[in-house]
Structure 1
């Protein structure tokens, strides 16, 4: 698996932070963000179909604040007030409502946000970060043990060591095998 393909499947806030690996930027262009949003479609309601530089800048800002706040949270220390305020402001810019509608046979509730598409996308990501920050599981978040990897994950199994067995796990096993065979 290429390091240029974003990992998905962790809590949404971690998937966002993990779009900035050791080398490169996985959300460098509006098209990169559009592709990432498409991968997260089930978790990002009403995501804009057209991504502009404005949406990209809003997501980058939330990602930076989320990364710093999560780093503190996973170590059990207090995040900076600046980062918390920025995450709260992103949510306030596009408040969410539970929209009630009749579908012909019953009532449905759909969560929607106001604001511009940039504000909405940033708000969904800031909300996902806020939920993870308040989750007691935050202290179980780990950084990948591969030498050249900074990606974070929330292990379902306590022995998990890598962000991805296919990405870093294989690379580390191959490196160990090479070192053993080279030494012998």
Structure 2
């Protein structure tokens, strides 16, 4: 079973964090299905995950990283990254569907009539677009642990690690041993 090191950040960051220092956590249908299960309630349910869904999700992720890196530096994102993201967005346009429910009254749910791979790519590209255009995108940080590549949006300006109990502890222990190595 795949365990994901960081879940619950902005959906686009959760997607980017599927590429870790250990490898690609959504490289195959089983890995993507596990990640989608972790994201329950944030994405439309995909009944069966196949190679098409894996390719679509990975394409969005690979375009999102250079775009976010550029935005964090206050620069223009690469044109190719924007083409991929815009292609994913246009592959499954959405519209709202009004519906009445006795529990919640009138609601407007987003509906994307497309095959699962295109719908999933569009939903994720939408999350990436939301993050890229958010004024807080420049605050996204990389974990400061030397062996970690995960991203996070700090709730506190002094946050340095993706998961303080993991990367923070490893860093503190390594510093402790380095200081006491010759002592």
Aligned to 1:51: 49
Whole-Å Cα distance in 1 between the matches of residues 102 and 171 of structure 2?
56
Whole-Å Cα distance in 1 between the matches of residues 154 and 110 of structure 2?
29
Aligned to 1:183: 182
Q: Which digits, 9 at most, give the CA deviation of each residue in 1:126-161, with x for residues without a partner?
A: 000000000010111111111111111111101000
Aligned to 1:135: 134
Structure 1 length as normaliser, TM-score? 0.93
Aligned to 1:173: 172
SS of residue paired to 1:69: helix
Whole-Å Cα distance in 2 between the matches of residues 6 and 47 of structure 1?
22
- Contact persistence 2:143–2:150 (CA under 8 A): yes
Distance apart, 1:49 and its partner CA: 2.4
Whole-Å Cα distance in 1 between the matches of residues 119 and 99 of structure 2?
21
Whole-Å Cα distance in 1 between the matches of residues 123 and 9 of structure 2?
16
- Out of 107-116 and 64-73, give the one that drifted further: 107-116
Distance apart, 1:6 and its partner CA: 3.6
SS of residue paired to 1:8: coil
After the TM superposition, which residues 1-150 of structure 1 pair with which residues of structure 2 at under 5 Å, given as runs? Answer: 5-44=4-43, 46-104=44-102, 106-150=105-149
Whole-Å Cα distance in 1 between the matches of residues 65 and 111 of structure 2?
25
Which consecutive unaligned segments of at least 5 residues does structure 2 have? none
Which consecutive unaligned segments of at least 5 residues does structure 1 have? none
Residues paired across the two proteins, number:
181
- Contact persistence 2:142–2:151 (CA under 8 A): yes
- Out of 56-65 and 25-34, give the one that drifted further: 25-34
Q: How much is the aligned-residue C-alpha RMSD, in angstroms?
A: 1.5
SS of residue paired to 2:181: helix
Aligned to 1:153: 152
Whole-Å Cα distance in 2 between the matches of residues 22 and 42 of structure 1?
27
SS of residue paired to 1:99: strand
Whole-Å Cα distance in 2 between the matches of residues 151 and 163 of structure 1?
6
Whole-Å Cα distance in 1 between the matches of residues 42 and 5 of structure 2?
15
